[in-house]
């Protein structure tokens, strides 16, 4: 992982101002991938700290298997090696964890201690297809978590493999991918897509506000036919703006 990043910290903070669906609306205009199938999580996830709003960061990745005690015997230095890896990556970072015990979740990598340690290492939160615990303490540490469930213990958890491709909630994530996540789920933006994502999201949000949303809010007192005409005109304007900018129609 290098320190070469397309987006500045200020631009990342701007991305954080919008929810993840809004970022998706921009992403679909610039991606070469399938906007019906790629980048977002196809499986349901749960935001345990929705009051924190969206989180934005670059993926650091790790696999765990809390049910397997052998990892502690065969890799006694894995935790320190993993922390050194995380520390070597410029932030902000989101820790993406694939739990190899899934769907039989028995232990959590996360809790009060690890949340505070990872905050010190420049991480803003996690996406794990396993569990978290110490929910109130993690929240107090300012460490956001999207996870499958809560659990009581940590079992024999430690890093099994890290700085590798992982799969969480049906979506593959690679180290360095830009992630935008909130209570709706998460979006994985590849390095090739990152240069345009902010301006695309801003453009499409403005496009909605000035066309279809504005038209819908100005329908009071109109007849049904007048409303339908107004909405149709606004939808055509919305699509025209998207085509002019991106050569794609957009949602409307």
Q: Give the pLDDT confidence of 92-107 residue by residue, as tens digits.
A: 999 999 999 999 999 9
Which of 190, 205, 227 lies at the terminal end of a domain, its last residue?
190
Q: Are residues 42 and 97 in the same domain?
A: yes
Q: Are residues 186 and 201 in the same domain?
A: no
160 within some domain: yes
Q: How confident is the model at residue 5 (pLDDT cuts 50, 70, 90)?
A: confident
Query: According to the model, what pLDDT value does residue 81 have?
Result: 98
Q: Are residues 19 and 99 in the same domain?
A: yes
Domain of residue 218 covers 197-246
Query: According to the model, what pLDDT value does residue 1 have?
Result: 42
Q: Are residues 49 and 161 in the same domain?
A: yes
Which whole number is the average pLDDT over 22-26? 98
55 within some domain: yes
Could you read off the pLDDT of 211-236 as tens digits, one per residue? Answer: 999 999 999 999 999 999 999 999 99
Q: Are residues 94 and 111 in the same domain?
A: yes
Q: What are the b/e assignments for 171-191, b being 16+ CB within 10 Å?
A: bebebbbbbbbbbbbbbbbbe
Q: Are residues 138 and 115 in the same domain?
A: yes
140 within some domain: yes
145 within some domain: yes
Q: Are residues 154 and 206 in the same domain?
A: no
Q: Are residues 55 and 175 in the same domain?
A: yes
Could you read off the pLDDT of 125-176 as tens digits, one per residue? Answer: 999 999 999 999 999 999 999 999 999 999 999 999 999 999 999 999 999 9
Which of 190, 214, 231 lies at the terminal end of a domain, its last residue?
190
Which of 173, 190, 207 lies at the terminal end of a domain, its last residue?
190
The mean pLDDT of the chain is: 95
Q: Taking 70 as the threshold, does the pLDDT of residue 4 lie above it?
A: no
Q: Are residues 166 and 201 in the same domain?
A: no
Contact 81, 179 (CB under 8 A): no
Q: Taking 60 as the threshold, does the pLDDT of residue 18 lie above it?
A: yes
Domain count, the chain: 2
Q: Are residues 220 and 183 in the same domain?
A: no
Could you read off the pLDDT of 205-215 as tens digits, one per residue? Answer: 999 999 999 99
2 within some domain: no
Q: How confident is the model at residue 2 (pLDDT cuts 50, 70, 90)?
A: very low
Residue 171's domain is classified under what CATH number? 3.50.30.40
The percentage of the chain sitting over the pLDDT mark of 90, rounded to a whole number, equals: 94
The percentage of the chain sitting over the pLDDT mark of 70, rounded to a whole number, equals: 98
238 within some domain: yes
1 within some domain: no
Which whole number is the average pLDDT over 68-86? 96
d(CA 177, CA 199): 18
Q: Are residues 214 and 107 in the same domain?
A: no
251 within some domain: no
Q: Taking 90 as the threshold, does the pLDDT of residue 85 lie above it?
A: yes
Q: Are residues 206 and 98 in the same domain?
A: no
């Amino acid at each position: 992982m290098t320190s070469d990043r397309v987006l500045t910290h200020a631009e990342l903070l701007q991305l954080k101002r919008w929810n993840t669906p809004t970022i998706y609306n921009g992403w679909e205009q610039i991606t070469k991938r399938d906007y019906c199938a790629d980048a977002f999580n196809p499986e349901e996830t749960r935001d345990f700290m929705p009051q924190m709003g969206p989180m934005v960061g670059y993926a650091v990745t790790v696999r765990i298997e809390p049910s397997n005690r052998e990892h502690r015997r065969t890799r006694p230095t894995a935790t320190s090696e993993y922390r050194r890896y995380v520390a070597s990556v410029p932030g902000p970072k989101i820790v993406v964890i694939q739990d190899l015990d899934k769907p039989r979740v028995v232990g959590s990598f996360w809790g009060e201690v690890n949340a505070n340690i990872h905050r010190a290492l420049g991480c803003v939160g996690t996406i794990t297809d396993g569990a978290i615990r110490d929910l109130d303490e993690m929240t107090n540490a300012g460490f956001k978590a999207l996870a499958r469930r809560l659990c009581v213990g940590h079992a024999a958890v430690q890093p099994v493999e890290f700085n590798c491709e992982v799969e969480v909630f049906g979506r593959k994530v690679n180290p360095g991918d830009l992630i935008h996540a909130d209570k709706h789920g998460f979006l994985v933006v590849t390095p090739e897509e990152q240069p345009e994502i902010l301006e695309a999201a801003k453009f499409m949000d403005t496009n909605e506000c000035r066309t279809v949303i504005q038209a819908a809010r100005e329908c009071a007192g109109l007849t049904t036919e007048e409303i339908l005409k107004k909405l149709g005109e606004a939808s055509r304007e919305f699509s025209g703006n998207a085509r002019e900018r991106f050569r794609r129609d957009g949602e409307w």
